[in-house]
Amino acid sequence: MVSILKKAIMAVTGLGWFVYVVLHLAGNLLLFKGPETYNAYSEFLVSNPLIIPAELGLLVFLVAHLASAWRVTRENSAARPQPYLERVLSRRGGTTSASGWFSTFASRTMWYGGVLLLFFLILHVWMFKYGDRSGAHGLWGLVVRSFKNPWISAIYIAAMLPLGFHLSHGFASALQTLGLLKPRWYPGVRRLSQVVGWVLAAGFILLPLWALLFAEV
- Check: CB of residue 68 under 8 Å from CB of residue 76: no
Nearer to ligand HEM, 44 or 101 (CB): 44
Nearer to ligand HEM, 99 or 109 (CB): 109
Nearer to ligand HEM, 45 or 63 (CB): 45
In whole angstroms, the minimum distance from the beta carbon of 42 to ligand HEM comes to 4
Smallest CA-to-CA distance from 188 within 92, 105, 82, 104 is with 92
Smallest CA-to-CA distance from 66 within 125, 4, 122, 9 is with 9
Nearer to ligand HEM, 45 or 202 (CB): 45
In whole angstroms, the minimum distance from the beta carbon of 199 to ligand HEM comes to 13
Nearer to ligand HEM, 127 or 181 (CB): 127
Query: Could you please report the per-residue DSSP string of 145-214?
Result: HHHTSHHHHHHHHHHHHHHHHHHHHHHHHHHHHTT-S-GGGHHHHHHHHHHHHHHHHHHHHHHHHHHHHT
In whole angstroms, the minimum distance from the beta carbon of 24 to ligand HEM comes to 5
Q: Under the rule (CB under 6 A), what is the footprint of ligand HEM?
A: 21, 24, 28, 42, 45-46, 55, 58, 117, 121, 124-125, 128-129, 139, 143, 156, 163, 204, 207-208
In whole angstroms, the minimum distance from the beta carbon of 188 to ligand HEM comes to 26
How far is residue 80 CA from its own chain's centroid? 26
Cβ-in-10-Å burial (0-12, 13-18, 19+) of 103 comes to buried
In whole angstroms, the minimum distance from the beta carbon of 184 to ligand HEM comes to 32
- Check: CB of residue 187 under 8 Å from CB of residue 125: no
